[in-house]
Amino acid sequence: MRICIVAEGSYPYITGGVSSWIHSLAVHMPEHEFVILAIGAEEKQRGLYRYEIPANIVEIKEVFLNSFMNEAPPTQDRLRLTAEERRALGALIGGGKLDWAPLFDLIRSDRVPTAGHLLMSREFFHILSERCAEDYAHVPFTEMYWMVRSMMLPLLLTLREEIPRADLYHSVSTGYAGVVAALGKHLYGKPYILTEHGIYSREREEEIIKADWVRGYFKDLWIRYFYRLSEAAYSWSDEVITLFGRNKEIEVEIGCDERKIRIIPNGVNVADYDLVAGPPAAAGPLRIGAIVRLVPIKDIKTMIQSFALVKKQLPEAELHILGPTEEDEDYVRECRELVLALRLDDVRFTGQVNVREYLGRLDLVVLSSISEGMPLAILEAMAAAKPCVATDVGSCRELLEGRGDSIGPAGLIVPVMHYDRMAGAIVKLGLSRELRERMGANGRARAEEMYTHADFIRSYRELYDTYKEANAWQVSDSN
């Protein structure tokens, strides 16, 4: 079977997390062919793969959200929309029930030479004017137009791209990836499954609330827009896979049909960590590790601030931040500046490393994210019998404290952005080797019992096989 995995902002350009998940899925299912439809931020990423691509990934189709710079200027406006198309376009901007099918057909039709042509048409100006009159009468139209254009242009450009043919479309988030996978289903009549690691719309909402580039009265517009994109994935998908119970509850809250949802947790091969499991072999200072991408949603600054408090009680402690630094260079620079401002001598930015080997040197692992799904970093730490301090996001509490099992805690949970509480939890673990060993052993036991890589692969193999059987049935029936 040929499976098209649609990924936004991850594989094959970024390591860890969702990217590692996609790579593992393909590597361990050689019986299937995979096509990767990779949605990246900028053209400069083209071809810069961070993985050795396995042979059964037969194509990587690259789409970049800044490709509008390559578009020809709009031609003379002769565009006329049907009433159905006007309703759909108006609903995308923010009002009424959105029917994606006529919108898909319009965006890809010969009547729309470029995405810019649609956004510069009289029809679009009329729809946007109506929207302004309803909810943004106090906002200058030109300001509204340029904001909506920047909001919609990446989506329109992405939907105009060639979509690879496949037997099954599988997006690993909602957002742009979810809409593109829905388009694949619309064009070719093939099934679509969604795996949602974190809740994409909630993550975008958090980012927009904090963003300086969005004026206050436009924040709500942007937030509703991203929820609208998630609606497409929820409504068009045949099945929705989530990683843990709380994610399912949130998906239902924001509009996903509960009957579509099933839970398949991530997994880790515990035996791979046998050589590094438990406390470091050599005595030394308390080594705290963070297996993390250096981006704002991981909130590295809170981690650094907490470490400054830790140093007051455990002056020999070290903080090792393990992860790539290329994704957001401005944020990395700000983190380094914070380290200098706090006069911290024992913070190590390691860049990309072999995480499994490095875990052997660590006493505990810390995660300070403001949003997560089921973090691979925590699963790896559990497999290596390292206790964790993590924020109360995603499945972190479920992983560390269990959900109805009798194993015992594998770490400590703290509130988001509370660097003082994080510091207190780190110090508590730092002062007690016995506590670290006990919690580390609990984590390894829980990973072995509930989060194995073999179970993860078996679940997805069975899932894919159900769609393989359905495709075979359809072919035989048509004959």
Asked whether residue 76 is domain-assigned, the answer is no
Q: How many CB atoms lie within 10 A of CB 359?
A: 24
One DSSP character per residue, 203-244 reads HHHHHHHH-SSS-HHHHHHHHHHHHHHHHHHHHH-SEEEESS
In a domain, 119, yes or no: yes
Our count of domains for the chain comes to 3
Q: How sure is the predictor about 41, in pLDDT bands with cuts at 50, 70 and 90?
A: confident
Return the ∠ at Cα 70 (arms to 65 and 72), rounded to 5°: 125
122 and 171 in a single domain? The answer is: no
Token pair for residue 227? 């929820």
Q: What is the pLDDT of residue 469?
A: 67
Q: What strand order describes the sheet that includes 287-291?
A: 347-351, 318-322, 287-291, 364-367, 388-391, 411-414
Q: Both 290 and 207 in a single domain?
A: no
Structure tokens at 41: 């931020």
Q: Domain check: are 228 and 100 in the same one?
A: no
Shared domain for 333 and 391, answered yes or no, is yes
> Which has the minimum average pLDDT: 206-210, 233-237, 304-308?
206-210
Domain check: are 362 and 442 in the same one?
yes
344 & 446 share domain? yes
Which pLDDT tens digit goes with each residue over 89-137? 999 987 678 999 999 999 999 999 888 889 989 999 999 998 888 888 8
For residue 305, the model assigns a pLDDT of 98
Average pLDDT, the chain: 92
For CA atoms 408, 411, 414, 417, the dihedral sign is: negative
For the segment 36-57, the average pLDDT, to the nearest whole number, is 94
**Cβ neighbours of residue 215 closer than 8 Å, sequence gap 6 or more:** none
In a domain, 474, yes or no: no
pLDDT > 80? residue 70: no
Residue 274 and residue 259 share a domain = no
| pLDDT for 15 | 86
CATH number of the domain enclosing 7: 3.40.50.2000
Q: Domain boundary at 210, 231, 263, which?
A: 263
Please give the model's pTM, rounded to 2 decimal places: 0.89
Give the whole-angstrom CA distance, residue 439 versus residue 186: 49
In-domain check, residue 247: yes
C-alpha atoms less than 13 angstroms from C-alpha of 23 in its C-beta half-sphere: 17
- Alpha-carbon torsion (25, 456, 206, 365), positive or negative: negative
Q: Looking at residue 237, what is its pLDDT?
A: 97
At which of 103, 132, 151 does a domain end? 151
Residue 78 belongs to a domain: no
Q: Are 251 and 342 in a shared domain?
A: no
Find out whether the peptide bond into 12 is cis, omega within 30 degrees of 0. Answer: yes
Q: HSE of 71 in the Cβ direction (CA atoms, 13 Å)?
A: 24
Q: Judge if 14 and 60 occupy the same domain.
A: yes
| pLDDT tens digits along 284-309 | 899 999 999 999 999 999 999 999 99
Same domain? For 171 and 215 the reply is yes
Question: b/e per residue, 220-249, with b = 16+ CB within 10 A?
Answer: ebbbebbbbbbbbbbebbebbbbbbebbbe
- 117: amino acid identity, one letter: H
For residue 366, which phi and psi values (nearest 5 degrees)? -125, 140
pLDDT tens digits along 322-378: 988 888 899 999 999 999 999 999 999 998 889 999 999 999 999 999 989 899 999
Among 230, 245, 263, the domain-final residue is: 263
473 within a domain of the structure (yes/no): no
pLDDT of residue 215: 80
* Residue 257 within a domain: yes
Considering the domain architecture, whether residues 393 and 417 belong to the same structural domain is answered as yes
Look at residue 468 and tell me if it is in a domain. no
CB 284 within 8 A of CB 358: no
Q: What is the pLDDT of residues 422-474, one digit of tens each?
A: 999 999 999 999 999 999 999 999 999 999 999 999 999 999 999 986 665 45
Q: Please tell me whether residues 138 and 172 are part of one structural domain.
A: no
Print the domain residue range for 33: 2-64+162-263
Q: Cα(263)–Cα(245) distance, rounded to whole angstroms?
A: 7
